[in-house]
Structure 1
């Protein structure tokens, strides 16, 4: 039965169950909001999200990712002797994704939209949003750079050990160049 369902559906039956649960939750939310003015706002937000993400943002960050990977491959092909052995692509993707997501989430605070309402509700200004976003972004790129450097050093050390291990000209107990 499970194999037949998987063959007909094209995926694991748990996937179908999860989708049905999501549709049930979405249906409940629509029924709960039906007739309220909030439903129109939710539908407008949903439509803007689809247009903003699927038609504008996704092609932009897919193009940026493709450019990054193609640039890495071109550099890799043109200078194979300087190849570090560890691709920096994922060490750039993750902080870029984090910075972009934080920017989207905190965009109203960064551009000080609704500053009077924010001040009335919290008693604070939106002044630190831009600086904090930049600081968190720099920290994410810094941590990523440290992790990349550690991974690169580990790969270099592994390559050096392998080359020395297979070098017949080296004396068996010559460890002077291991550091």
Structure 2
């Protein structure tokens, strides 16, 4: 049963949110009570890690951070923003009958999330996946070919799990739609 809205409110608005709360949260609660201590803790851990990193090689770490920020802002961000816009444009394509070519837009996030996680894994493990891993081979005892295959396996597993999750969501949505049309009245 869906909650009733007041007749003077727009269709999407059920009730007002309390100030400082997230959508769907009725009032101040645990989300706001723990926000400041968790933020302070995360800043303390980040500061500790920064001090430890800068103590060993301050110039190298600084250059790495500046280079990573520039590479992200000038290359990666425009690239994945363009890919996202292209995906959005494809999902808006309609057939001559007026139906969407790819169904609803809900599947896009089922591609975004595994792609983001796979890209993050590639970014973190790129020296072992792409380049020569002789330095790490002595420590780990694994050959360089292992890392590329494992990254591909994890990427495949991420996309498969996401695709299965999307298929289950579609099946449940279709089932709920069938139940609504079957009810009298």
TM (norm. structure 1) is: 0.69
Q: Does 1:97 align with 2:116?
A: yes
Task: Report the alpha carbon displacement of residue 152 of structure 1 after superposing the two structures with TM.
Answer: 0.3
Q: Name which of 134, 137, 140 aligns with 1:122.
A: 140
The 3-state SS of whatever aligns with 2:93 is helix
Q: Name which of 120, 137, 158 aligns with 1:140.
A: 158
Q: How far apart are the structure 2 equivalents of 1:32 and 1:105?
A: 19
CA offsets 1:119-141 (integer angstroms, 9 cap, x no match): 22223212111111111111111
Q: Name which of 22, 47, 63 aligns with 1:25.
A: 47
Q: Does 1:66 align with 2:81?
A: no
Match of 1:162 in 2: 180
Larger Rg: 1
Contact 2:91 2:101 in 1 (8 A): no
Q: Please tell me the root mean square deviation across aligned C-alpha atoms, in Å.
A: 3.6
Q: Name which of 91, 94, 107 aligns with 1:88.
A: 107
Contact 1:102 1:133 in 2 (8 A): yes
Q: How far apart are the structure 2 equivalents of 1:31 and 1:142?
A: 37
The 3-state SS of whatever aligns with 2:77 is helix
Q: How far apart are the structure 2 equivalents of 1:86 and 1:61?
A: 18
Task: Report the alpha carbon displacement of residue 73 of structure 1 after superposing the two structures with TM.
Answer: 2.0
Contact 2:87 2:108 in 1 (8 A): yes
Task: Report the alpha carbon displacement of residue 145 of structure 1 after superposing the two structures with TM.
Answer: 0.7
Higher helix share: 1
Query: Structure 2: where are the runs of 5+ without partners?
Result: 1-31
Check 1:97–1:83 CA distance in 2 against 1; reply closer, same or farther (3 A cut).
closer
Q: How far apart are the structure 2 equivalents of 1:75 and 1:62?
A: 22
Q: How far apart are the structure 1 equivalents of 2:116 and 2:96?
A: 27
Task: Report the alpha carbon displacement of residue 30 of structure 1 after superposing the two structures with TM.
Answer: 8.8
Query: Structure 1: where are the runs of 5+ without partners?
Result: 1-11, 169-179
How many corresponding residue pairs? Answer: 152
